[in-house]
Amino acid sequence: MKLAVLITVATLGILQDTPAQTLPRKASVLGKMVVANNYFMKLNPDPSKPIVTDKTRPSNIWTRSVYYEGLMALYKIDPKPIYLKYAVRWARSHQWDMPGGTATRIADNQCCGQTYIDLYCLNHKLNRIKRIKDCIGRIIASDKIDDWWWIDALQMAMPVFAKLGKVYHDDRYFKRMYEMYSYTKQKLYNPRDGLWWRDSTFLPPYKEPNGQYCYWSRGNGWVAAALVRVLKTIPKTAVGYSDYKATYLAMMRALLTLQRKDGFWNVSLKDPEHFGGKESSGTSLFLYAMAWGVRKGWLKREAYMPAIIKAWNGLANDALHPNGMLGYVQGTGKQPSDGQPVGYDHAPDFQDFAVGCFLLAGSEVYWLAPK
């Protein structure tokens, strides 16, 4: 009798653990993406409306632009006209321009150009791409390469260079992108750990409370996403391709060992006790990068699929509310202590960028999920 009870309990335990060991079907992955996106669009029915937090900002700043990266990724697998209309309406309201105009050299301001270029590629209307092309053209025409002094900038700007280079078949975009990337990498990347310091203020001797280097989760997530978005776009013959690939692979190896048991990554990658806990934005970016690498054949399925499964199930089942709100999002900032508290029911100062990150993650997990 006791043996039967033990077997029953063990069987129930196995059954309860089973969902965490597999990816749901494609329809389920897409359903989670749609729920998250619908929630955001209902909160923001007018995409042209300025963003109001501690002050009023235009809706083409980097936080909103990252959301549109995710929306375009959703549109590619679920091409509903409402998504396209929403994105075009947003871009038109800003005259396809950047905060700061074509003279801006700030990567955050250029992030919106990623979606402008994606929308241009759908119908080749030159007005959609003219201003971002002029903006990046000014950077190429100068000798200055030190604009990307913080690692977030790589995700904001590098894909713009990559996309323009592809559209115009012009290697100058690839060359300048690699020059600027290399300048940043030389200062902020630690090849021993395969991770990046957010900016020069976090270089040694700066340490976390446990004595480890400060590697901020979302900052490293931005780099991982940037590398994926560039490698997806540029030809293998482009300058920097092999460097981007090698750095991407080194990062994936490092990140695999730092994942929490619940599938998330801590905001401080090397100090789990320093504001430790579930965090959705960095986790989404790492998941996006890992899932793409497995799909590409660069990462071994047997090594990385368990991490991918845990990350997606954690985000989709533990962080995403039934109504579509994404929980456990660290607000804007530059280090683990910023944007706190992080919680299931706590809304960050900006909700848009994390939704974009979640949609990017889902867009890659979708292709790995069973039918």
Strands (E), the chain: 51-52, 56-57, 189-190, 195-196
Give domain status of residue 367, yes or no: no
Query: pTM of the predicted model, to two decimals?
Result: 0.94
Q: What is the mean pLDDT of each run of 10 residues along the chain (371 residues)?
A: 38 39 96 99 98 97 99 99 99 99 99 99 98 99 98 99 99 99 99 99 98 99 99 99 99 99 99 98 99 99 99 99 99 98 97 98 99 96
Strand partners, 326: 320
Query: Taking the CA atoms of the chain, what radius of gyration do you get in angstroms?
Result: 20
Region label for 324, one of left (φ > 0), alpha (ψ between -120 and 50) or beta (otherwise): left
In angstroms, what CA-CA distances link 336 with 167, 323, 333, 341? 38, 28, 8, 10
Q: How many domains does the chain have?
A: 1
Structure tokens at 119: 């929308």
Give the whole-angstrom CA distance, residue 235 versus residue 248: 16
Give the whole-angstrom CA distance, residue 247 versus residue 359: 24
- CA max distance for the chain: 81
- Tally of CB atoms within 10 A around 323: 10
Give domain status of residue 366, yes or no: no
Region label for 252, one of left (φ > 0), alpha (ψ between -120 and 50) or beta (otherwise): alpha
Give the whole-angstrom CA distance, residue 209 versus residue 193: 18
Contact 63, 353 (CB under 8 A): yes
Give domain status of residue 370, yes or no: no
Q: How far is CA 157 from the centre of its chain?
A: 13
Give domain status of residue 10, yes or no: no
Query: What pLDDT, on a 0 to 100 scale, did the predictor assign at position 6?
Result: 38
Give the whole-angstrom CA distance, residue 314 versus residue 319: 7
Question: H-type helices in the chain, by residue range?
Answer: 2-17, 26-43, 62-77, 81-93, 107-110, 112-123, 130-141, 152-168, 171-188, 217-231, 241-256, 280-296, 301-313, 352-368
Residue 269's domain comprises 23-359
Give the whole-angstrom CA distance, residue 261 versus residue 368: 21
Give domain status of residue 364, yes or no: no
Q: Coil, strand, or helix at residue 57? A: strand
Burial of 353 per CB tally in 10 Å (0-12, 13-18, 19+): buried
Contact 47, 59 (CB under 8 A): yes
Give the whole-angstrom CA distance, residue 290 versus residue 94: 34
Give domain status of residue 78, yes or no: yes
Give the whole-angstrom CA distance, residue 77 versus residue 37: 14
* CATH for 81: 1.50.10.10
User: What amino acid is encoded at 115 in this protein?
Assistant: T
Give domain status of residue 2, yes or no: no
Give the whole-angstrom CA distance, residue 329 versus residue 308: 19
> To 5 degrees, how large is the angle CA 213–CA 216–CA 222?
135
Give domain status of residue 284, yes or no: yes
